[in-house]
Amino acid sequence: MALYLIARIADETIALPATEIGSVVEVDQIAAVPRVPGHVAGLFALRSRVLTVIDTRASLELGAIDRASGMTAVIVECEGHSYALLVDEVEDVIEGGQAEPCPALLPSSWRRAARGTIRRGDDAILLIDPATLVAGPEPLAA
């Protein structure tokens, strides 16, 4: 059995593979960075490291996460760099089996990020690829 972190992004319950997560932290201040893609919220200092903060809603083209109060971030490593993925809420860590195929009728932003689904009771939860969230929205075709 694999472990998954269960979180919420834009009213959708999602799962992230626990093997790809370093920690879950509260983010209080994000330093703005000029001329970055829209899904990059800025930089955040954590234990003597500087992490790039990714707004997961913006990455999925679902608006932006409310940054007015304390924010929750899931820390992941991607291609040797640390990232803080802002999520609306972290719910739980669960054991789950192998991922199943995604439903055919997923909006394109979720379909791009989904690796499949996992089961929690009778519910199918989208298993999300953190690297896709870090990469951000697909560029518009020219």
In a domain, 40, yes or no: yes
Strand, coil or helix: 2: strand
125 lies in which domain range? 2-134
In a domain, 19, yes or no: yes
In a domain, 112, yes or no: yes
Domain count, the chain: 1
Confidence of residue 106 (pLDDT cuts 50, 70, 90): confident
Residues 40 and 136: beta-carbon distance below 8 Å: yes
State the average pLDDT over residues 89-113: 86
In a domain, 115, yes or no: yes
In a domain, 141, yes or no: no
Q: Residues 50-87: pLDDT tens digits?
A: 999 999 999 999 999 887 778 999 999 999 899 999 99
In a domain, 142, yes or no: no
CATH number, position 24: 2.40.50.180
Q: Residues 17-52: pLDDT tens digits?
A: 999 999 999 998 899 999 999 999 999 999 889 999
In a domain, 32, yes or no: yes
Cβ atoms within 10 A of the Cβ of 94, count? 18
In a domain, 140, yes or no: no
Parallel/antiparallel/unpaired status of strands 40-46 and 123-128: unpaired
Between the alpha carbon of residue 15 and those of residues 7, 40, 49, 69, 131, the distances in Å are 6, 21, 26, 24, 14
